[in-house]
Amino acid sequence: MAVPGSSFAQVAIGNEPDPLVDNLRVGPNASVVGMWSPVRGWPLVGIHATLMPSGTVMTYGTALGGDVHDGRTFDLWDPARGLDDPAAHYTLPNAQFIDSFCSAAAFLKSGAMLISGGSAVSNNYSSRASTLFDPKTATPTAAASQLAYQRWYASMLTLTDGRILITGGGAPYVVNAFRGPATAIAQGDISMTPEIYTPGAGWSTLPGATSRDAFGPDFNRWWYPRMWVAPNGRVFGISADKMWSLDPNGRGATRTVGNFKTGFNAFRRPNTGPTSTAAMFDVGRILQVGGNGASNEHATPSSAAATVIDIRGAAPVLTEVAPMANPRQWANSTILPDGTVAVTGGTRFADNAGADAVYPAELWDPRTGRWKTGASAATYRGYHSAAVLLPNATVLVTGGGVPGPVTNFNAEIYYPPYLFRMDQGRQVLAPRPRVASVDAKTFDYGARLTVSLAGDDSISRVALVALGTATHSFDSSQRYIPAAFSQTGRTVSVVMPGSPNIAPPGYYMAFLLDAAGVPSNGIIVSIGGMAAPVAGPAGKGPIKAQIGELSKRVSRGRDGTTVVVNAQAGTLWRLTGGQTAAPIPAPKPMADVAVVTANSIYGLATDGSILRYNGNAWKQVGHGGRTISASEDGTVAITNIEDNIYVKNADDDVEAWSYMPGAALRVVPMSRLAYWAIGMDGNVHRIERSGKWTQVGESVGDLATAGDGRIAVTNKFTNEIWTKAGDDVIRNWQHTPTKAISLAVARGGSLITVGPDGNVYRE
């Protein structure tokens, strides 16, 4: 059964539009190699990436304008808004004076994420501190309990009883400890004693588990030790050349269970060390691949070797499998819903970009033990990059750099081959199983998840994939668990794992795959007493973040396309997720802009002419305009030089407009049937298409609408922002403590504003 109290009510699963997949321009050979999205801006260098229980992705790392090694800025990205919508990001600083740069993270049973250790050099903060991040409110707070040891470059995981284990790490930036192990130990630079976090009690040490083999300076074994909860309930780990097992109970105990090849070696090039990557692709089975280095400053050739480590028995069993086509250090490995492992990024030598950068993805199939080369990314992702599986079965890849050789304030999406098929000689998106509802989202061990399908799909496989928490080429939480199931018609009954040794308490995505191996969207569930997955943050609202500059007007379309008008030259620029913009060449300088979609952008030129951009070319569709606005349904309205109102007959390249009775300083359509206007009196009015005007507010400088009925205005005297959530004449305005001279509002209430300083902000 599901957790008591939650087993009877059906939970509807929304099959909402997915801007990451819908209308995707499918590339050649996508059903064989997959494809990549365009590279898009990101608010920070995503050194750490976690899929949260809400389905959003939390990244943290170096923000624009911050210190190179500064991990105090967090960002939540909503994949449901896509990569092109600045409103998809919710960026906030860590106000607790904790620097989480190069830290470790794991989920507590409460649903909060515990982020521990990190940097201390650039700001004199403590590398023994921890942050608790509440996904319900998107709020970081400082944990009261301090670690006993410094934990820069440590690893964390959730144990079978919900406690958190942290191992490895040391003093910040002792990257060359492996060159003088005895000195590093004598100086206390390396933390060889694990610690346990117990909710309600804080941190405590495991003095019986101290181990130089597992966590010492030799070969930099202390750098992000690779570790997993094993089927026997203990913790199995690989640290460079050593394999070990840790009992976290009582005082703890660590024993060495074997050698894993050798330490880094320029001639043998073993797949060892912290520059490698590893993933538990099946219960008790680990793929260890790439590497052959001690640190990002250690110049060694990369390894292409791959080894399967089976930890289901009394001793680990090692099996060499086919090597990758490309040797890699600093790659990322991501377990996919069909059980394959996608390896992305990396370099053939040290942390070099340029000719040494590896761009093709490689897919390892555990059924054959062989690799298949996938499509090539556009950006080098090496040291300080991260990759996580998304609920739509794509892979987000972000970050890289700080320090160089790149500084990647950007991200891209890898689309695996299972999302595509060949149809009549064309590559197209494959039809996917669609989930209509589930009976619960919170489960005990051995419980059953009942899934109702929206169609008549025949399900061939069900898998649980733990939500990813990736940094420094290792995802400490991801694991793949095949699930037993049965199907009757459109109902699928899935058996949850029976033991925390197989599925430690946590959050998992349940994927249903059809006979062609195409996965459904993942259903995020909690197992083992974890708090129920939350729908999304319900906190104080997004923190203001600058995403552009030198602008005078902003407009946002229904697909998230956001365009600003440069205040000096009248040029148009399309904003993306970070502080980046792409020019939209236009034949004339512009005074105003109105966006319907990326392929329907209207510009009001400084000479009053009205032009439409269809994604490829501009065409004049009107003249004599003073202001222009558009709604999500494609309704376009202008006021002309005589303050008359005209509405375009259709969202197309035809110059055809209809007169609307009345006069206004600006008119903004909510839809073809309802409009909002700044009247000649300077007040805000709602206008029905029949011509009825109703005043709803006073003293307005600018005005914007969203398709869900939200309205945002600025006060013409103070530039302060007021919003209301209803396309009606009720004066239920809410004050927002920020200022703007131009603004756009998204569904849900996120704002894109041009401040009085001319900079563009997301808030």
**Per-residue H/E/C for 274-333:** CCCEEEEEECCEEEEECCCCCCCCCCCECECCEEEEECCCCCCEEEEECCCCCCEECCEE
The CATH number of the structural domain formed by 545-762 is 2.120.10.30
Q: Does domain 11-421 have CATH number 2.130.10.80?
A: yes
Mean pLDDT value across residues 104-113: 94
Q: Which is higher by pLDDT, 380 or 404?
A: 380
For residue 539, pLDDT beyond 70 = no
Closest to 413 in 3D by CA, of 60, 748, 17, 30: 30
Quick one: pLDDT at residue 569?
A: 94
Sorted by sequence, the CB contacts under 8 Å of residue 488 that are 6+ apart come out as none
Quick count: other Cβ atoms within 10 Å of Cβ 113? 20
Quick one: pLDDT at residue 690?
A: 84
For residue 4, pLDDT beyond 80 = no
Quick count: other Cβ atoms within 10 Å of Cβ 688? 11
Q: What digits encode the pLDDT tens for the residues 697-754?
A: 999 999 999 999 999 999 999 999 999 999 999 999 988 878 999 999 988 788 889 9
Give Dmax over CA atoms of the chain in angstroms: 86
Measure the CA–CA gap between 91 and 104, rounded to whole angstroms.
Answer: 20
Question: What homologous superfamily is domain 428-527 in, according to CATH?
Answer: Immunoglobulins (2.60.40.10)
Mean pLDDT value across residues 658-682: 96
For residue 541, pLDDT beyond 50 = no
3-state secondary structure 605-628: ECCCCEEEECCCCEEEEECCEEEE
Quick one: pLDDT at residue 337?
A: 99
Q: What digits encode the pLDDT tens for the residues 290-303?
A: 999 988 888 999 99
For residue 538, pLDDT beyond 50 = no
How is residue 687 written in tokens? Answer: 């206008």
Quick one: pLDDT at residue 15?
A: 66
Mean pLDDT of all residues belonging to the chain: 92
Mean pLDDT value across residues 206-226: 97
| Percent residues over pLDDT 90 in the chain | 77
Domain boundaries, the chain: 11-421, 428-527, 545-762
pLDDT bracket for residue 140 (50, 70, 90): confident
For residue 429, pLDDT beyond 80 = yes
Burial class of residue 560, CB neighbours in 10 A (0-12, 13-18, 19+): buried
Considering just the CA atoms, what is the radius of gyration of the chain in Å? 27
Tokens 């910040």 belong to which residue? 172
For residue 14, pLDDT beyond 70 = no
- Global pTM value: 0.81
Quick one: pLDDT at residue 118?
A: 79
